[in-house]
């Protein structure tokens, strides 16, 4: 039989005492392993072995499982900015266990709660309930872009949403380069503006969006456009686009996330201006 530490590590590093007992480890054996420093008792009835991510440890200490933006960020999925607090899924009717420096955000949603961390699909559903449609949409497209959502997984997410929110999955795409693009497209969609996405223009290259075949919209993420070489490349592309009859509008992270009314006004004004030229 495997040792308690090896068994727990095979169970993704965390295990309930009741499960370990069903595998032949009695309470005395587990207590001896804890006293010897071979395993760790995270809370009564829950044991760990090996390196446990800090956010998962915090969630388990609180009596639940990591979920929502905590799970998404750990998997590299794009999320809207929020406080660094750990999001903990307790489940309905359960009580948490506040701990030193506790700033946990608690989710009491129904479902079969995981022991350590919610699945990505569950975390996405929780994000919509916690942070709203925009946060969900940007995270969903990011996860799809990263290859983390199979067709079946996307179907599970859609089925778990209320009927009135399933359109968010229906209009999602796997080719958004950043959450900024997702936000831009969703917000303009709500205004009834149709965008062609990821368009390749001869002499210019691939652009984020084109409206009415003449207006280019680019969502410039901080990491991709801040340095001088990228800025020069953007200027060259914009010049090439202008020669070919396009107008280009560029918006950075701060504008899209924190100053959307100005972005919306700029886009609507450009659409109107170009329509007057027809």
CATH number at residue 192: 3.40.960.10
At 154 the pLDDT is: 98
Domain stops at, among 146, 174, 202? 174
Q: Report yes or no: 168 and 137 within 8 Å, Cβ to Cβ.
A: yes
Same domain, 234 and 169: no
Alpha carbon distance 17, 26 (integer Å): 9
Same domain, 121 and 197: no
Alpha carbon distance 185, 194 (integer Å): 9
Same domain, 181 and 277: yes
Give the structural domain span for 71: 54-174
Would you give the DSSP letter of residue 85?
P
Same domain, 90 and 61: yes
- Helix 151-160 crosses helix 120-131 at what angle (to 10 degrees)? 40
At 278 the pLDDT is: 66
Q: Which helix (H) or strand (E) holds 105?
A: strand 105-107
Q: Could you tell me which of 42, 55, 58, 50 has the C-alpha nearest to residue 10?
A: 50
At 228 the pLDDT is: 64
Q: Report yes or no: 59 and 52 within 8 Å, Cβ to Cβ.
A: no
Same domain, 130 and 240: no
Total domains in the chain come to 3
Domain stops at, among 174, 200, 227? 174
Same domain, 82 and 126: yes
| SS3 state at 117 | strand
| Cβ count near 70 (within 10 Å) | 28
At 95 the pLDDT is: 84
* Average pLDDT per consecutive 10 residues, the chain (278 residues; last block may be shorter): 86 90 91 92 90 91 94 95 89 83 91 90 97 97 97 98 97 93 96 93 92 92 61 87 92 94 96 83
Tokens 């003449």 correspond to 214
Domain stops at, among 174, 201, 228? 174
Give the number of residues written for the chain. Answer: 278
| Cβ count near 66 (within 10 Å) | 27
Same domain, 140 and 205: no
At 223 the pLDDT is: 52
At 161 the pLDDT is: 97
Same domain, 237 and 273: yes
Same domain, 32 and 103: no
Same domain, 205 and 103: no
Same domain, 93 and 189: no
At 225 the pLDDT is: 47
At 58 the pLDDT is: 92
Alpha carbon distance 145, 82 (integer Å): 22
Question: In the numeric block, which tokens belong to residue 65?
Answer: 């499982």
Same domain, 258 and 198: yes
């Amino acid at each position: 039989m495997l040792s308690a530490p090896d068994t727990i590590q095979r169970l993704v590093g965390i295990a309930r005492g009741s499960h370990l007992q069903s595998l032949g480890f009695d309470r005395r054996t587990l207590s001896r392993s804890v006293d010897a420093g071979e395993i760790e008792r995270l809370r009564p009835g829950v044991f760990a072995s090996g390196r446990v991510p800090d956010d998962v440890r915090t969630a388990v200490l609180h009596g639940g499982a990591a979920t929502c933006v905590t799970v998404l960020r750990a998997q590299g999925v794009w999320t809207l900015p929020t406080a660094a607090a750990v999001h903990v899924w307790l489940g309905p009717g359960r009580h948490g266990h506040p701990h030193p420096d506790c700033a946990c955000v608690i989710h009491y949603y129904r479902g079969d709660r995981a022991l350590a961390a919610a699945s990505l699909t569950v975390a996405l559903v929780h994000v919509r309930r916690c942070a709203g449609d925009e946060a969900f949409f940007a995270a969903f497209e990011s996860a799809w872009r990263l290859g983390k959502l199979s067709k079946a997984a996307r179907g599970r997410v859609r089925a778990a949403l209320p009927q009135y929110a399933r359109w968010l999955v229906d209009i999602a795409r796997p080719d958004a380069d950043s959450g900024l693009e997702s936000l831009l497209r969703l917000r303009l969609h709500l205004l009834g503006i149709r965008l062609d996405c990821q368009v390749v223009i001869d002499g210019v290259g691939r652009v984020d969006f084109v409206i009415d075949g003449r207006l280019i919209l680019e969502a410039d993420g901080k990491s991709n456009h801040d340095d001088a070489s990228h800025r020069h490349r953007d200027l060259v592309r914009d010049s090439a686009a202008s020669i070919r009859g396009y107008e280009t509008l560029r918006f950075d992270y701060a504008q899209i996330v924190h100053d959307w009314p100005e972005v919306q006004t700029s886009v609507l004004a450009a659409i109107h201006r170009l329509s007057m030229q027809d």
